[in-house]
Amino acid sequence: MQLEILICTIGQGINNVPDIILPPIHEITYLISWQPIGVPAESIPKRLLQRADIRIVTTNRSGLCANRNNAFSEAQGDILLISDDDTRYTPVFFQNILTTFEAHPEADIIHFQALDEDGHLMKKYATKSFTYESRPRFTFFTSFEIACRRSNKLPPFDERFGLGSPFLACGEEEVFLHTAYRKGLKIRYEPLPVVQTDSRTTGTLFATSPAVQRSKGAVLYYIYGFTGAVLRCIKFALTRSSLKAGIKSFTNMWHGIRYIQKSNCQ
């Protein structure tokens, strides 16, 4: 079974990628999907061009989700690990992924754990395995925690969401997984670390970012429909520290709901 690491990067971020790559491991390959945005091909670090286990593909489309979709379309591995240019790995992380997929041949997508730069769990994770349909409340997913079995049944990432999109800054993982679930793919969580990163996820900026607030409303609409989304947005707004903050966050979440409503009708 071959594990392929799908590293998405943009511009000068290509220079960060050599720090991610481990010495050659028989079952591991790397696919780098690069959005050059004017950076010449000569800028690609030579170390990336000297390894048979590394491939580099480019796309001129904008947005992180477009980059992830480009990686999906070019991938060749049996198991695909979603990655960015600020992640770090160990052989143990890769073995955790391979062993878990071998133990669960029914699983199409598996959600794992991430560590912060100090080696601590990046957020509060469940201590026991679960399936997507039985996931605990307040379970949140991040792209670099997700590995997939390569299949033409995998949905693309919704390019209305995510970094670089015009209106919705995050939420693409939630939409990706829910779309996969609707299509009948089997999704599960396993409490094993597979990546280390020092980056903050965009979703942690909810209190200060209108784009993140819009994304929350849009994701809730996508998953729960109009009435379910509005009720959840009201409930969430009531937990804000002040009436002004609650009204502001609800307004932004409402704009996210309407944005998806309108784009679905086009």
Q: What is the pLDDT of residues 127-152, one digit of tens each?
A: 999 999 999 988 989 999 999 999 99
Same domain for 154 and 133: yes
Q: Tell which of 182, 201, 220 closes a domain.
A: 201
pTM confidence score: 0.93
With vertex at residue 262, the alpha carbon angle to CA 258 and CA 264, rounded to the nearest 5 degrees, is 115
The structure tokens listed for 107 are 């699983």
Residue 70 sits in which domain range? 3-201
Q: What is the pLDDT of residues 16-73, one digit of tens each?
A: 999 999 999 999 999 999 999 989 999 999 999 999 999 999 999 999 999 999 999 9
Same domain for 192 and 211: no
Q: What's the CATH code of the domain at 49? A: 3.90.550.10
Same domain for 132 and 7: yes
Q: Tell which of 170, 201, 232 closes a domain.
A: 201
Q: What is the pLDDT of residues 168-218, one digit of tens each?
A: 999 999 999 999 999 999 999 999 999 999 866 665 677 778 999 999 999
Total domain count for the chain? 2
